[in-house]
Amino acid sequence: MALDGVAQCFERAGDVKHLRLHGDCHPSNVLWTDAGPHFVDLDDSRMGPTVQDLWLLLPASRADASRALADLLAGYEDFADFDPRELHLIEALHTLRLIHYAAWLVRRWDDPAFPAAFPWFNTQRYWEDRILELREQIGAMQEGPFWPI
C-alpha cells in the first residue's frame, strides 16, 4: 500500500525536471563556518527532482514544515524557479526514505559493527514503529501536499 501511495504521488506531480542533487541534504550534512554553508556526505548524490534536496531541511511536523517551506522556497527562488507540482512528492520521498533506510540496515546487519552501532534495530519495537510510521505516511500521501499548489 505504501508504494501504491508513492506511485500516486508521482502521478499527481507529473513529469518534473530532474537535476543534480546532494541526495541527503539535511541539517546534519550542512556545516556552517564564517564563510557560509558547506555541504558534506556526498555519497548519495544523484539526479532527481529539486524537492528531494529541500524536504529534508523541513521540520518533522506538518504545521511547522508548512511555515518553514514558505521561507525555504522564497530563498530557493532567489536562485532558480521551483515547480510547485513537486510538492506532491514530499510525502512520497519521505516514505521511500523510510523504506530505503531500513533496507540499508538489513543489507549490512551481518557486519559486526552494525549491531553495535544500531542496537535498537531489528527489535520488535523497531518494526512496530516502522509499521505505524508507514501507515501514517500512507495517510499523509492521501492528504496531498501540505502547502497550496
Catalytic center residues? 24, 41
Distance separating alpha carbons of residues 147 and 84, to the nearest angstrom? 9
The amino acid present at 127, given as its one-letter code, is: W
Q: 66 to each of 4, 33, 92, how far by Cα in Å?
A: 24, 28, 16
Q: 96 to each of 27, 115, 149, how far by Cα in Å?
A: 19, 23, 22
